[in-house]
Amino acid sequence: MSNCTIESGNEYVKLSDKNGVNLYMLKENDKIKFKLIFQLVNPNYDLNRAIGFKLFALMAELNKDVIESISLSPHDEETREINMALLFCRFGSDFGLAQKYIYSKSTMINNGRTTTIITKQETKPSHINVPSNSEPASGSSSKLELTLVNYHKGEVVYDFILDLEDDVPLYMEKVPGKLMHKVFSRVKPFIESLV
């Protein structure tokens, strides 16, 4: 498949389909929205066990070159809301970009076979420490939706805005999407190899 084609639906542009993870981008007003779509298939593992807030910690563990650190509020299998502090590794320093972090509240909603995690940016409390020269990726939000076809197969759709709030060169506007594509391109085969 090609790596850059235009999709007709909803004016999203397909940026990549590498590793079975499709990345789309949509410019809407002053915001750039991204969407990742992929399937999870593991005949040896109940995918219900991979669903939940523990997915955030897994994302960080598998992507230490993208995510420097992550802190989640205490949670268990019954928890429906958490706070999360995520510090990205610094990228774009050659262009004067500051290191970015996200402090957010995530809410999990279960509706039949579909689990949705909605994450919204919040103001970082003073007790959360980040490097002094880092900046929030303001206006960031996401919706992660996993729909199970059965115990061993699921469809994942991840819609997100990751606003760097910097005057980045035009050729760097895809960087947030490419970073998250990299993250999920590692998460997908990991989950699919669990036994």
The model's pLDDT over 138-154, given as tens digits with 9 standing for 90+, comes to: 789 999 999 999 999 99
Which of the two residues, 30 and 178, has the higher pLDDT score? Answer: 178
Q: What is the mean pLDDT of residues 117-123?
A: 96
What are the residue boundaries of the structural domains of the chain, listed by start? 26-193
Instruction: Compute how many other C-beta atoms are within 10 angstroms of the C-beta atom of residue 116.
Output: 15
Amino acid, res. 178: K
Q: Render pLDDT for 2-61 as a digit per residue (tens, 0 to 9).
A: 344 444 445 899 999 999 999 999 988 778 999 999 999 999 999 999 999 999 999 999
Structure tokens that stand for 194 in this block: 């669990």
Residue 167 confidence (pLDDT): 64
pLDDT score at 2: 38
Query: Which pLDDT does position 92 carry in this prediction?
Result: 72
Residue 117 · residue 53 · CB < 8 Å: yes
So what's the pLDDT on residue 85? 97
Structure tokens at 71: 């802190």
Name the β-bridge partners of 24: 14, 35
- CATH H-level, domain 26-193: superfamily: START domain (3.30.530.20)
Least confident of 49-53, 58-62, 97-101, 171-175: 171-175
What mean pLDDT comes out for the span 148-166?
Answer: 90
What value, to the nearest 5°, has the Cα angle with vertex 3 and ends 2 and 6? 85
Residue 62's pLDDT is 98
Residue 184 has what pLDDT? 98
Express as a percent the part of the chain with pLDDT over 90.
76
